[in-house]
Chain A
Amino acid sequence: MTQISNNDIARAIYLSLKDKKGIEFSQGLKRVVDFIYRKHLLSKVGGILSSLREIINKEESITIVKVSSAQKLENHSRKSLVHLLKKRYLSKEVNLIEELNEELLGGIRMEVKDEVIDLSVKNKIKQLEAYLVCE
């Protein structure tokens, strides 16, 4: 038997609710909750919701970027970062989730979905280590 994935369920929820408004929307929501309960999918709710969030972000062209840096980002760097990321991921909107991580020593590290752009000093030192050991 083919198993229905969280992604499939999330996509079905999205398609059934995306064009609904008002009472129709709230009735739709109730039906979704009822469906999840009937099909014993409550344990999978976390996964379904994160898939739903990803689908909505994709449809609405929103990119969520986790930015780690050793020091707090300044306003102008944040702005230019958002500008660059919009271009790279062809997004209408870029939401930055900032995080401080002193282990990076300097620079920034960005995570977009399953892509990592590591511009931190820690990574550069690691690369130098690999270069000196291997060469």
Chain B
Amino acid sequence: MSRSHIVDNLIKEIDNFSSQLKIEKVGKVIEVFDGIAKASGLSDIKLSEMVTFPHGEVGVALNLEEDAVGVIVLGDFSKIKEGDEVKATGRILEISVSDNILGRVVNALGMPIDGEGAIRATKTYPIEKVAPGVVTRLSVSEPVATGIKVIDAIIPIGRGQRELLIGDRQTGKTAIAIDTILNQKGQNMICVYVSIGQKDSKLRKLQMRLAEGGAMDYTVIVSAGASEAAPLSYIAPYTGVSIAEYFMDQGKDVLIIYDDLSKHAVAYREISLLLRRPPGREAYPGDVFYLHSRLLERACRRNEKYGGGSITALPIIETQAGDISAYIPTNVISITDGQIFLETDLFYKGIRPAVNVGSSVSRVGSSAQIKAMKKVAGTLKLDLAQYRELEAFAQFGSDLDENTKKQLERGKRAVEILKQPQYAPMKIEDQVIVLYALTKGFMDDVPLEKIKEFELGLIEYTEKNAKKFYKDIEETKMWTETGETELQNAIEEFKNNFLART
């Protein structure tokens, strides 16, 4: 077969090409250091405008001074030298987006880093965008099912909410995030995981875990690793939220996880100090609040008139020795719509997920909870609160009256039931059944050490013997009287068999 068509097509392409006369604004590099370049010239440059260097490196203008412009270099800055030409592009930093990005791992500039080839892009999105306004928004009313009992029952998250995951190192913050992503299978949700300053080995493990659980089909990972320069860590969350906005603009619901914003703030502090911006508390610059508020404000739920869709944000903050009154934790706590507080003590006591129910709160999520869950969770909250109050007396067990003893026993069982292993998300119907059995006192006479076994068996049994209850929850999100009677009978039957067996 003749290959002459290649030449013909190439000639046609070249014929179609017309060079454009463009007047470019250029500057000269004055100095380069630690991922920062200072350039003279560039008189009409805008804040956050993209600039290019001779070897193709991209930068963003962050400091506009009288004589010079401070630019952060996104990538390898070792080839840039004094006197190099810097070109202004007239555009805010953009990333390429398309549906093909799903299942891929990209860097902070949206370029693939998973070795699976280029991503064919259809559109570009600016990484900095003003958050949707008041009129375009809708209040939170649909739940994000995390599959984690303690969260879905007590600290529920709604679509469009911003819920902070806060805790010391090694308390299971990322584990909750991964479980939440895994549980979104079939829930009509796109997930974006933004890894900031994490070890590459941890990221690889996480990617493998998500792939194993079939979650990569609806997930994008944006990574700015620990070995990359601070400017990339700084822009990574904005890249992530731009990807999320691309999907939200199609009317889809998106879940975005920022792991973690403490490292993001540290990266921004590094850049700010190098740019000689005045340091404030803990050496962070004055606009560190705005850094996070403008990012998290882009999480929203839009009304149908403006295309629908939502972005739910789960930012993660790592505290030092449980100090939630440090600068960044207090900032992010005040920005978000609630926080899930994880504690080292609980973690080592074996209460996992190590959620401190007393300090955790979800300010808007309860309106997103399904009716059945709301009903069982109300009594559960009360049980746990009473248990915490009475826990101090537990050591004087023998001197307590019957009622107090009963409350303590119920509390112990509630704590036991809320324990959940990693990678084992639970369906919302199953959660309702387990919590129903707990709060209605069906578990009061089950030995504490058998609770887990009882829970697993109960779910298996009710699946077959309380079908009406399941159907009610699925259809109306609440049980009917007949469904409830059926469930009560099933629980009673199972319990009798269980107790007789053990």
Q: Which B residues from 16 to 41 make CB contacts under 8 A with A?
A: 17, 19-27, 41
Q: Check if A117 is an interface residue, CB within 8 A of chain B.
A: yes
Contact of A132 among B13, B21, B26, B42 (CB under 8 A): B13
B20 touches A127 (CB 8 A): yes
Q: Check if B141 is an interface residue, CB within 8 A of chain A.
A: no
Query: With A114-B26, A114-B41, A115-B26 given, is the CB distance from A124 to B13 under 8 Å?
Result: no
Query: With A128-B14, A132-B13 given, is the CB distance from A114 to B25 under 8 Å?
Result: yes
Q: Mark B52-86, 1 if CB is under 8 A from A, else 0.
A: 00000000000000110000000000000000000
Q: Which A residues from 105 to 129 make CB contacts under 8 A with B?
A: 111, 113-119, 123-124, 127-128
Residues in A with CB closer than 8 Å to B360 are none
Residues in B with CB closer than 8 Å to A111 are 26
A135 to B18, CA, bound (A): 13
A18 to B13, CA, bound (A): 58
A128 touches B19 (CB 8 A): yes
Query: With A6-B67, A135-B13 given, is the CB distance from A119 to B24 under 8 Å?
Result: no
Residues in A with CB closer than 8 Å to B66 are 5, 7
A119 touches B25 (CB 8 A): no
A113 touches B19 (CB 8 A): no
Closest to B88 in A: A114
Residues in A with CB closer than 8 Å to B67 are 5-7, 47
Q: Which B residues from 205 to 222 make CB contacts under 8 A with A?
A: none
Residues in A with CB closer than 8 Å to B13 are 131-132, 135
How many residues on the A side are at the interface (Cβ–Cβ under 8 A)?
Answer: 19
How many residues on the B side are at the interface (Cβ–Cβ under 8 A)?
Answer: 17
B25 touches A115 (CB 8 A): yes
Query: With A5-B66, A6-B67 given, is the CB distance from A118 to B17 under 8 Å?
Result: no
Query: With A7-B66, A128-B14, A135-B13 given, is the CB distance from A119 to B41 under 8 Å?
Result: no
Residues in A with CB closer than 8 Å to B23 are 115-117
A114 touches B21 (CB 8 A): no
- The smallest beta-carbon distance between B83 and chain A, in angstroms, is 14
B14 touches A116 (CB 8 A): no
Residues in A with CB closer than 8 Å to B293 are none
Q: Check if B43 is an interface residue, CB within 8 A of chain A.
A: yes
Closest to B24 in A: A116
Contact of B43 among A5, A114, A119, A127 (CB under 8 A): A114
Q: Mark B484-501, 1 if CB is under 8 A from A, else 0.
A: 000000000000000000
Best-surrounded residue of B13, B19, B22, B66 (most CB of chain A within 10 A) = B19
Residues on A close to B: CB < 8 A? 5-7, 47, 111, 113-119, 123-124, 127-128, 131-132, 135
List 6 tightest A-B contacts by C-beta distance, closest first.
Answer: A114-B41, A124-B19, A116-B24, A127-B19, A116-B26, A5-B66
A-B CB contact pairs (8 Å), 20 listed: A5-B66, A5-B67, A7-B67, A47-B67, A114-B26, A114-B41, A115-B23, A115-B25, A116-B26, A117-B21, A117-B23, A117-B24, A118-B24, A119-B21, A127-B17, A127-B19, A127-B20, A128-B17, A132-B13, A135-B13
